[in-house]
Amino acid sequence: MKAVTFCKACGNILNVSFNFCPFCGIPKKGKATMNEIVDDSLQQIDTKSRTSYLKRLGHLEKQLMDLEKELNSIIILKKP
């Protein structure tokens, strides 16, 4: 079985003799294994998911703070 090399930038299969990736043009810097490519992809997905989650959490926190202010105003108005 022939050894396979992958582009670390785009993940396409490369000929071992190539110095540049013919798909994305990035210079070949060492060999990338399939595990490295999968791990890098999963890490990027995880980072994007966490960023999205934190952004949503911040938005919900702001909504809760606004709601708390509104409820405090209602409580103050209803006090005799």
**Tens digits of per-residue pLDDT, 55-75?**
999 999 999 999 999 999 888
- Strand 5-6 to 13-14 pairing: antiparallel
Average pLDDT value over all residues in the chain: 84
Who contacts 40 (Cβ-Cβ below 8 Å, separation ≥6)?
A: 8
pLDDT at 63: 97
For residue 1, CA distances in Å to 4, 24, 31 come to: 9, 26, 17
What would the pLDDT profile of 28-56 be if each residue is shown by its tens digit? 776 667 777 778 778 889 999 999 999 99
